[in-house]
A and B are shown apart, each in its own frame.
Chain A
């Protein structure tokens, strides 16, 4: 059913992405592709992977931007995937009911057995989160690794989305953003996490943490002055001074 759940889910599972610590290594993207091409979304087809114009369905895309001007400019790596919006138009425009938002945890999913591949959901999404699988003929999107997070066959520490598990810098956090006491909610409050394009009115669940203020020569505190050693006077002090000189060489 493509109408949204009558009552918004109290649980809002989602991701918090730290743009300060993301290094753009693409580990989350490749890990996502690897897990999902064998999981719920299988297959995530690639077209002409070794041809002149290779492309394929990926659920997570990492952009890199140059932000700011001159000496103040910086590189910001920007992972982009489904934000599991609270009021997503990608769900309501779906003519078949293949797209749906789960009432129990807010995850937005596509039923690959009823999707007709009309692509209208990709037009309705402002975040480019949905990609058409040219071989499979249906739309693919981030499932928040719904086949991992509840999977009791996996060890406890692996019951998180593949992208979060793979991130080497801890730039991706997973949790319940509907619970103000959760780790992710507190992180968002502490770091000023923000929504992407709130003006679309889709109320994204995923949040982005802005890069922290710069720390460089212009902003750093002056280093403490170095300790001054008095001129040696006694023979013992001269001996220590000599030893210090030799050993410091």
Chain B
């Protein structure tokens, strides 16, 4: 599949944004962060901004962005429509959380309730994002039951790593967030390795012979394409990434998204002052860069079944 930057920015940024508001929302209830005015004012605002940038970016690849509002109508059947509705609902509740946390003095039950609601809605939103991909039976690498859960896991991981940096900068810092971040980073790395092993081993949906129904007469080879240049179908769904590069990029993404942030968070927990702060923010930046590569691969490595009409032996 063609790895469109608009969709990569959309899924990584909105994942981090919704993850961050979920973690801070839960932290307001179960942690002691509701006492810190700045966490609400800056942290929730950052989460809303990240999710907003992501959602805005997703409209850049539309042929008619001015009609995007119509996408709220088909929640009965379409995961993309459900995602749009869930995202707007989440942003609305998160906006209320920001208002209350920022302008209503003192910790209150309202912050807690809004925090829980934001967290639940944010995770529903990320789940709907994952389901857009997981629900497609035409793409083997996406039609796996672990795709949407991994979207949720990666969102929570990126949210926690960013929350850890914010807590160090704006509050007194809480070791629990750092430790949780490290645990989630390890779990995310394992989940991605599991995902790659599963998708590499999964049986193809179709072969050139089964897709055309001509396999019964022997090997099916392409004699001529219907067109001399790539058409939309091949431009959108015929993207190929060399196996050599994909192995290298998988290693890079594991390193940048999970391994380096893991070590940096460890440093930030035991270090102090500016060094700890730099390590915590370094962890967040490295993780986002790694997730970019991870998401690029999620698209670039996914092979669409229509490629079997164009000479792919199997997809």
Contact = CB atoms under 8 A, between A and B. Distances in A.
Interface of A: 1-4, 19, 24, 29, 53-58, 61-69, 72-76, 78, 80, 89, 91-98, 114-120, 122-128, 131-134, 136-138, 194-197, 199-201, 208, 210-211
B231 A123 contact: no
A197 to B, nearest CB: 6
Interface in B55-107: 61-65, 67-68, 70-71, 73-74, 76-81, 84
The 3 closest A-B pairs by CB, nearest first: A117-B63, A137-B63, A68-B218
Contacts of B62: 116-118, 137
B interface, over-half SS:
mixed
B229 A68 contact: no
B314 to A, nearest CB: 13
A35 B224 CA distance: 25
Interface of B: 1, 61-65, 67-68, 70-71, 73-74, 76-81, 84, 132, 135-139, 205-206, 208, 210-214, 216-233, 235-237, 304-306, 309-310
A75 B224 CA distance: 10
A57 B64 contact: no
14 contacts: A2-B74, A54-B228, A58-B227, A63-B212, A66-B223, A95-B84, A96-B71, A123-B136, A123-B304, A126-B306, A196-B211, A197-B205, A197-B206, A200-B305
Interface centre among B1, B220, B230 (most CB of A within 10 A): B220
A95 B78 contact: yes
A55 B229 contact: yes
A115 B64 contact: yes
Contact of A62 (B137, B213, B226): B226
A96 B70 contact: yes
Contacts of A197: 205-206, 210-211, 305
A interface, over-half SS:
loop
B219 A94 contact: no
A1 B138 CA distance: 23
B136 A114 contact: no
Given A62-B226, A114-B70, A199-B206, A67 B137 contact: no
Given A1-B74, A55-B229, A122-B232, A116 B79 contact: no
A122 B80 contact: no
Contacts of A67: 214, 217-221
